[in-house]
Structure 1
Amino acid sequence: MASLNEAELVDQGCEPLELGFTVTVQTEETVGETIVPGTSERRATATASAVIEPLCSFVPPEPSPDPPSEPPTEPDPSATPSEDPEEEDPALISGLSCDGEVWDIDPEDPVLPRVEELFRVRLTGDDE
């Protein structure tokens, strides 16, 4: 991002915070001719901190109760297997909620949240 704004990282560049980063950058070009004496060869420097906030929570669904246990039965040798076995519905993964939107994910055709739906990045002040 610094190079897109004609700047470069200085010092140790990017310092990790608990849930974010602090970055110090300096402009690649000097300030140039100004009315303030002695500043034409100086470069601007800025420091900013940003935190990454999760927007999602996950609460696993309650497990379904176990069916009553029955003694195992021997397979019937005279039975023939069905040519069209019953297909079960694929299990849905549920319990993911992102910024108020509930996501039920079908493992057979997963549609997952985009990164901007999972996290928010915001600049912080010195008091945060």
Structure 2
Amino acid sequence: MVQHHRDVSDDPRRPRRQGADGGGVPRHHRGGRGDRAGDHRDEHRADDLRRDHLEDLRGHRRLTRPGRDAGQAFPIYLTVVAGLLFLAFAYLAVGQAAVNRGGAQTAADASALAAAQDVRDQLAGQWLKVLRDPAKWQDVFDGRTPILGDPCARAGELAARNDARLTACSPPGPLEYRTEVRTDKSVGRSVVPGTEKFRSTASATAEIEPLCTFELPAEGAAKAPLPRLTCKDRVWDLEPDDPSGLPGPDDLFDVHLAD
């Protein structure tokens, strides 16, 4: 009778299942106090909710950050644009001043050349007066002869034609004239204060260069012909009675601005 009531699990001939529980059913499958299937599903659902929330936050940051960055960059953009505009207007003012200065220099050059050309014409006229007296020619070519007209009057006319006023005019030497002018127009309004009242000034000097050489006849020569006049590449055999064959002011003198 004892053998009939023996626990089957104690039978050495019965194979045993592997595992810590001896092949038994885990507690959570037997309804014990262990983990339940529902517990794992709740944890997975909570993880999914947290993951979705984090993704939503990242997406929100990606959507909102560009707008916030653009708002912060807008004042910088305005500052840069304002600076560029100021530089552009400043360069414009510099350009206006350069144009005004160029106009003043043009007027000064024209007035100096006009004065020198007037002197040249007067010297050529003086040479014609002493044509029959070669001993006086060199004084004319050196500018050592009286100038009756006012070369500065002609200089003032040329300055006025170039929108400027003659402020000074004088001969530094017998064969040169120097003039100074100031523009009638100002630089104009600009971002640089005071330009609307600023007028450019300039000066120039023009030279009168004799172009001819000659040899005087020997002293005591009776009724010697007039000397041959060489002006640059041309030789003149002078005939006082034939004015058409005589050199003109441009042949006798060259007028140019001083270096």
Task: Report the equivalent of 2:227.
Answer: 94
Asked if the contact 2:239/2:246 (under 8 Å) is kept, the reply is no
Task: Report the equivalent of 1:115.
Answer: 249
Higher RCO (Cα < 8 Å, 6 or more apart): 1
Q: Distance in 2 between matches of 1:26 and 1:65?
A: 56
CA distance 1:119–1:65, shift in 2 (3 Å): closer
CA distance 1:57–1:31, shift in 2 (3 Å): same
Q: Distance in 2 between matches of 1:115 and 1:35?
A: 50
Q: Which runs of 5+ in 1 are unaligned?
A: 67-90
Task: Report the equivalent of 2:166.
Answer: 9
Asked if the contact 1:32/1:40 (under 8 Å) is kept, the reply is yes
Asked if the contact 1:28/1:43 (under 8 Å) is kept, the reply is yes
Among all aligned residue pairs of Structure 1 and Structure 2, give the percentage whose two residues are the same amino acid: 42
1:59 aligns with 2:215: yes
- How far has the Cα of 1:9 moved from its partner? 1.0
Structure 1 segments, 4+ long, off by >2 Å, are 33-37, 60-66, 91-94
Asked if the contact 1:92/1:106 (under 8 Å) is kept, the reply is no
| TM-score w.r.t. length of structure 2 | 0.34
Q: Secondary structure at the match of 1:105?
A: coil
- How far has the Cα of 1:62 moved from its partner? 5.2
Q: Which runs of 5+ in 2 are unaligned?
A: 1-157
The residue type equivalent to 1:39 in the other structure is T
Q: Distance in 1 between matches of 2:203 and 2:253?
A: 22
1:104 aligns with 2:234: no
**RMSD between aligned residues:** 2.5
The residue type equivalent to 1:116 in the other structure is D
Higher percent of residues as helix: 2
Q: Secondary structure at the match of 1:60?
A: coil
| TM-score w.r.t. length of structure 1 | 0.64
CA distance 1:120–1:37, shift in 2 (3 Å): same
Q: Distance in 1 between matches of 2:219 and 2:235?
A: 19
Q: Looking at CA atoms only, which structure, 1 or 2, has the larger radius of gyration?
A: 2
Aligned pair count reads 99
Q: Distance in 1 between matches of 2:180 and 2:240?
A: 43
